[in-house]
Chains A and B, each alone.
Chain A
């Protein structure tokens, strides 16, 4: 009676009545807490309306999903998915692109810093 495809589309916004499987069921409010602070930071009320937050979360998840699918299409030509695919997708959007390169370089620096920190700690340890 019910459409067999409806059961197959387990990732869509089905109610939480179904038992959770290994796949990620779209649980409500995954990003809710973070999104509230984020929206306040970007100009909303200190307490955004819950329905607004839910809507923004849905939009963001859809955005990330679409981006990931597109990146996968690009990456499949190369073989596997990599960061460059995402960077290629946002190449037209300069603020995002700059921000991403900044994030990546910061992460590199931190990795180096941590490595150097551990090396120095070892040195100090052996001295004492």
Chain B
């Protein structure tokens, strides 16, 4: 039976379009975490912060800093979890500090729209087969981010206005991260074309940048930068 609705769940359901399989999602989550009844009595919070950025090991795994999470090793060896746990605190500092308390006790029953059960299952199937190397690279991919404070400072200096909202910083950090991804991936493509190997060199990045400009993915300066 579903537990009583707390205000947060109700608010969430209002917020998002309720996917038809949300009850299924809840049952899945409940069936997979039978050892945690104390969470439910804790005030009725049932929010697993599943978001990609905040939980590296996939949606069904709680934040590793939670002590009882080790009792339910999902796909990965507990060593990986331990590894992640040590870095979980540093990672959480990148985001607001309040969020850390959030992660400890809460369990989202309603996952964000991108995480329907089929996709989650697929994702976990893939993740379970990663080698150590791949896992560490994937971890870097998920966790790395540009510092919001630095970005905010940069934006303030560019626009000249002090009023840079938090969502704007977040958006720009996200855009910049994806841009870096495009650059690096294209640089790797350039390298395979030239059949070179090893770390990426500036010439590859420059060629990648040139190609991105041709594709129109880089905004063109309306005024040429004359003095560097």
Q: Is B21 located at the chain interface by the 8 A CB criterion?
A: no
Residue interface mask A80-112, B partner, CB < 8 A = 1: 111100110110010110011011111111101
CB-CB contacts of B10-38 with A at 8 A, as 1s and 0s? Answer: 01100100000000000000000000000
Q: Are B206 and A55 in contact (CB under 8 A)?
A: yes
A112 touching B15, Cβ below 8 Å? yes
Residue interface mask B164-188, A partner, CB < 8 A = 1:
1111101110111111110111011
B180 touches A56 (CB 8 A): yes
Distance in angstroms from A94 CB to nearest chain B CB is: 11
Q: Which residues of B contact A9 (CB under 8 A)?
A: 227
Q: Give bound CA distance, A43 to B198, whole Å.
A: 11
Interface SS of B by simple majority: helix
Residue numbers in A under 8 Å from B138 (CB-CB) = 41
Q: Is B116 an interface residue (CB 8 A)?
A: no
Q: Could you mark each residue 58-97 of chain B with 1 if its beta carbon is under 8 Å from any beta carbon of chain A, else 0?
A: 0000000000000000000000000000000000000010
Residue of B nearest to A87 (CB): B171
8 Å CB interface, A5-39 against B: 5-6, 9, 11-13, 23-24, 30-31, 34-35, 37-39
Q: Are B179 and A34 in contact (CB under 8 A)?
A: no
A14 to B96, CA, bound (A): 34
Q: What is the bound-complex CA distance between A30 and B147, given in angstroms?
A: 9
Q: Is A37's CB under 8 angstroms from B199's CB?
A: no
A34: which of B146, B156, B170, B181 is its contact (CB, 8 Å)?
Answer: B146
If A83-B165, A102-B114 touch, whether A40 touches B140 (CB-CB below 8 Å) is yes
Q: How many angstroms between the C-alpha atoms of A6 and B173 in the bound complex?
A: 30
Main secondary structure of the interface of A (DSSP, over half): helix
Smallest distance from the beta carbon of A22 to chain B beta carbons, Å? 9
Complex Cα gap A33–B175 (Å): 18
A112 to B16 alpha-carbon distance, docked (Å): 13
Which of B159, B175, B187, B200 has a CB less than 8 Å from the CB of A100? B175
* Interfacial chain B residues near A86, Cβ < 8 Å: 168, 171-172, 175
Inter-chain contacts of B166 with A (CB < 8 A): 107
> 1/0 per residue B136-153: CB within 8 Å of A?
011111111111001101
Across-interface contacts of A117 in B (CB, < 8 A): 45, 98, 101-102, 106
A103-B170 in contact given A59-B209, A69-B158 (Cβ < 8 Å): yes
Contacts of A55 in B (CB 8 A): 202, 205-206
A residues near B127, Cβ cutoff 8 Å: none
Is the CB–CB distance between B218 and A63 below 8 Å? yes
List A residues at the B interface (Cβ < 8 Å).
3, 5-6, 9, 11-13, 23-24, 30-31, 34-35, 37-45, 47-49, 51-52, 55-56, 59-61, 63-70, 72, 80-83, 86-87, 89-90, 93, 95-96, 99-100, 102-110, 112-114, 116-117, 119-120, 123-124
Q: List 10 A-B contacts (CB under 8 A).
A: A30-B154, A41-B143, A49-B200, A60-B179, A80-B161, A96-B178, A106-B112, A114-B99, A116-B11, A120-B45
